[in-house]
Structure 1
């Protein structure tokens, strides 16, 4: 991670730049560093903030997408943020959608990339071979179009995480919560501008998921990135940032 992690009042987060706020939400197996290229590109013009979501720190009974959304709101109030553009990848997109519905007065616009909330083809219900490094490597590579994006460091992090019993139980609980909390019936209520920036080769939340989001969100635009999987801001950062800049410029007017 290139940027300093700040800690206060039980929150850990990155906070770079000044101006209108871009609030970035990472995914279930994601890390703050997934957004490094976005921070680098936009910190001269925006205030880019990434809270670390407490996926592994919640009591098991309350581990779920709604609890993460409440945590995000506590963070937003703690930092006195308003007029926010929220960006979410994977589970972070799901949390962003619930947040917008619960607290529309805080959010100016929304950007979703590889978001869950409708359908996802993730690790599945269990990790039957979680001690097998090669199996985990294949699962991480599945996330990307180019398997080389799954660096040894990234695979090592995931391998370590899912071989920690405390963490893996919460990952499974969070994944089940996401599946239960389908957003299809609520998306029509979101009228703020939404940009969907999607990998054409996403196997976790495939292209038809993006098309369904586009159909159900009244004020959305859809941008495709070729040769790109589930995390466009990592795999194709220049193209992702280009679409993001277009959208941010448009909503400034």
Structure 2
């Protein structure tokens, strides 16, 4: 997917397909490649799938927060001249999508969240006291998934490099604190956009009760479960994830 990256103005992004724009928002430790199966599938279904690289580590430390990322997303959407976007976010990306929807409600046609932060953030930015120990970081990366084998050496290496880069670690912790500050609990009942919640039944980062709470607070939401699945459903069960989402988009005439 990296060979498809576009660099324009201050934006780096991947774009594939034509049609209704679906903007995909990656998480704190998640790269654009995590959504490869989503991009391949929906780009053949009448959608333009766009995955911007979020500026998690390139902004000034004081601006390294969820609100700045939502504003960056708005700058990107305005630059691309998109209207009525569908947002799809995993983990921190879901949180950014939720906050964006609160700040710019008229620009969002629908929202999809999976393993999203925004209600429960205690697992973000924690457990890095032994970051120099590769095996400890490998175990931490594996815990994201129900099947530890999904955490390839490439994924583990990326996590290890990130947490052992002092600048990135400081900003990771700043993002985690920002996520706690930007709890969305009071905002969700006012957000009436169609929302698809797809959740791993075995997610230990954002446990199943978090999905249930999102569903109860979001007035126009549908909740779907994937069994034997952890925090990144679109990676661990891409076929089932895509089928659930495709069916939901059709049901909602999106």
Gap regions ≥5 residues in structure 2: none
Please tell me whether the aligned partners of residues 17 and 49 of structure 2 are also in contact (alpha carbons under 8 angstroms).
yes
Which residue pairs with 2:24 in the alignment?
24
Which residue pairs with 1:218 in the alignment?
219
Q: SS of the counterpart of 1:252?
A: coil
Please tell me whether the aligned partners of residues 126 and 172 of structure 1 are also in contact (alpha carbons under 8 angstroms).
no
CA RMSD after TM alignment: 1.1
Which residue pairs with 2:52 in the alignment?
51
Hey, what's the Cα distance between the residues in 2 that align with 1:89 and 1:155? 18
Shift of residue 180 of structure 1? 1.4
Q: How does 1:55-94 map to 2 (within 5 A)?
A: 55-94=56-95
> Aligned pair 1:206/2:236, yes or no?
no
Q: SS of the counterpart of 1:92?
A: helix
Distance change in 2, residues 1:140/1:126 (3 Å): closer
Please tell me whether the aligned partners of residues 35 and 234 of structure 1 are also in contact (alpha carbons under 8 angstroms).
yes
Q: SS of the counterpart of 2:197?
A: strand
What's the TM-score once normalised by structure 2's chain length? Answer: 0.97
Q: SS of the counterpart of 2:86?
A: strand
Q: SS of the counterpart of 2:102?
A: helix
Gap regions ≥5 residues in structure 1: none
Deviations 1:113-165 (A, max 9, x none): 00000003425545111100000001000100000000011000110111111
Which residue pairs with 1:33 in the alignment?
33
Deviations 1:15-47 (A, max 9, x none): 110000100000001100000000010112210
What's the TM-score once normalised by structure 1's chain length? Answer: 0.98
Distance change in 2, residues 1:66/1:242 (3 Å): same
Q: How does 1:109-188 map to 2 (within 5 A)?
A: 109-125=110-126, 127-188=128-189
Hey, what's the Cα distance between the residues in 2 that align with 1:202 and 1:111? 17
Shift of residue 61 of structure 1? 1.1
Q: How does 1:86-105 map to 2 (within 5 A)?
A: 86-105=87-106
